[in-house]
Amino acid sequence: MRPVNTVTVALTGASGLPFGLSLIERLAESGRKVFVLYSQAAQIVARQEMDLAIPSRPADFALWLQQRTGAADGQIEVFGREEWFAPVASGSNPADAMVICPCSMGTLAAIANGMSDNLIERAADVSIKEGRKLVLVPRETPLSVIHLENMLRLARLGAVILPPVPAFYTKPQTLDDMIDFIVSRILDQLGIDNQLVARWGAPAPE
């Protein structure tokens, strides 16, 4: 697996914005460069789930994320849905990996069928064609045959399908504990060391 120094994180309109924002925070803490993409629906979900007003202007959102995560200047860059000159829009300058967290079924379907109508879809298409790591965190239940077939299609193309399914063997005590479990699994897929949760058969992290 190639070293992951730059990660694209896309936030879509599925439930589960706390996972995506926590992932961005952990990536920033690890010193990674982070490209953030987000949809208008993600802004609506953030307000509904977290009482957060995500800024509409990418530059304002980048500043908001920097202040939230303590990232260095320029460590987090945010791009709008139609910023076609963003690095992630081209195979000549893709990120080392991409995570869509949370991933709506609409976004998943578009990627599975090669659509590139916005920057999130285009960045995912680039990740697939360039053989880069693509992790999708779909949040929907129950799943229809259409959803399952789209996931299977993407899995066969090499994408990782990582539903945010909680584990209870870690004995979570808070909602943050459950979020950390999912974020830890995502970081594992990226090859990024973390001690967010106890490993199976290992003592709890201090």
Query: Does the annotation place 28 within a ligand binding site?
Result: no
Q: What integer is the mean pLDDT of 118-143? A: 97
Query: Does the annotation place 30 within a ligand binding site?
Result: no
List the chain domain ranges. 11-190
Query: Does the annotation place 104 within a ligand binding site?
Result: yes
Query: Does the annotation place 185 within a ligand binding site?
Result: yes
Q: Nearest Cα to 153, choosing from 122, 96, 97, 115?
A: 115
Q: What integer is the mean pLDDT of 1-24? A: 94
Please give the Cα distance from 26 to 21 (Å, whole number): 9
Q: Nearest Cα to 79, choosing from 68, 92, 90?
A: 90
Query: Does the annotation place 107 within a ligand binding site?
Result: yes
* Fold of domain 11-190: Rossmann fold (3.40.50)
Residue 127: band (very low, low, confident or very high) from pLDDT cuts 50, 70, 90: very high
Does pLDDT of 3 surpass 90?
A: no
Query: Does the annotation place 38 within a ligand binding site?
Result: no
Query: Does the annotation place 14 within a ligand binding site?
Result: yes
Instruction: For 65-100, write each residue's pLDDT tens digit.
Output: 999 999 999 999 999 999 999 999 999 999 999 999
The Cβ-side half-sphere exposure at 107, using a 13 Å CA radius, reads 32
Beta carbons within 10 angstroms of residue 177's beta carbon: 15
Determine the distance from the C-alpha atom of residue 49 to the mean position of all C-alpha atoms in its chain, rounded to a whole number.
17
Whether 52 contacts 44, CB under 8 Å = no
**Cα angle for residues 188, 17, 23 (degrees, 5° grid):** 30
- Its pTM surpasses 0.85: yes
